[in-house]
Chains A and B, each alone.
Chain A
């Protein structure tokens, strides 16, 4: 059995419509970026799910690790005053 069909993987991000953010759709195997784009189109956009596609070598993605998600996001956790709900205003007062 040949295993030479294991091309590197590329992560696929599709943009649903102009102005929307690109969203992760899944991954494809391809020998290079150009073919990765074609494969991504055929696999993740057969029904106009996208107007634009990014492909990124999977190995190029650097992700935070779930184990230290607590300490990693700590700086945000103890600053609840960043949320407007932190501030109490008089009842019935109109917000901006």
Chain B
């Protein structure tokens, strides 16, 4: 059988992980290879952790359609995900882990080094500078090009042009700049994976479900910490705010409440950083700042 390269993309709804996977597959196919791209289908909400997958084969149609659980390459579009999702799960020895982070390679390596190549790029800053939005899909493709020959830049250009039209040039620039700025550390076969207590998903057996799939604790969305999804954080400028309440009406998480002085404030347990409040505020009292998370 042909060599198969499997890629798993970790992103958040709206960050473009699915687009990254699609462009990767299109570039591989243009080059004459066989490839697949697909998302982990689900109820996608802006900011929710999402997965996308690629399989690339030199010369054979790919039959397997199940999710990639033992990837050769893992790409993480959002540094916040590192602490809530086990991104290295199943990552093969000798594979590659590519992370978007403002941290230095040496610091990241302490936490996420392993028997895989480690690549780090500050993709959010590049995207904000060149594209003016924190969407890092094309930027992270540059980092992928740096560590893998699964796809090549020449074949990526056309798919990017088709997808982004007028914005294509800036996306290509972002991709190239990321290629230049990605720093790479070679695998350290001896180093062990740092064990983290990731929230384990456990599902009930059929006997444990209530008859008729009735949910007996209503309002359990309250315990759902959508704040974990946040990549950017709303900041209020009180000099501009006229306390009209519009932002709180539009917040999809309904998490904006007036503080004791009557100014709106987001409950960060729920605020997912979607930026809708900032978009809707008519006095531009809200700006979205970069989230610093540990």
> Does A associate with B in a complex?
no
Which A residues fall within an 8 A CB radius of B? none
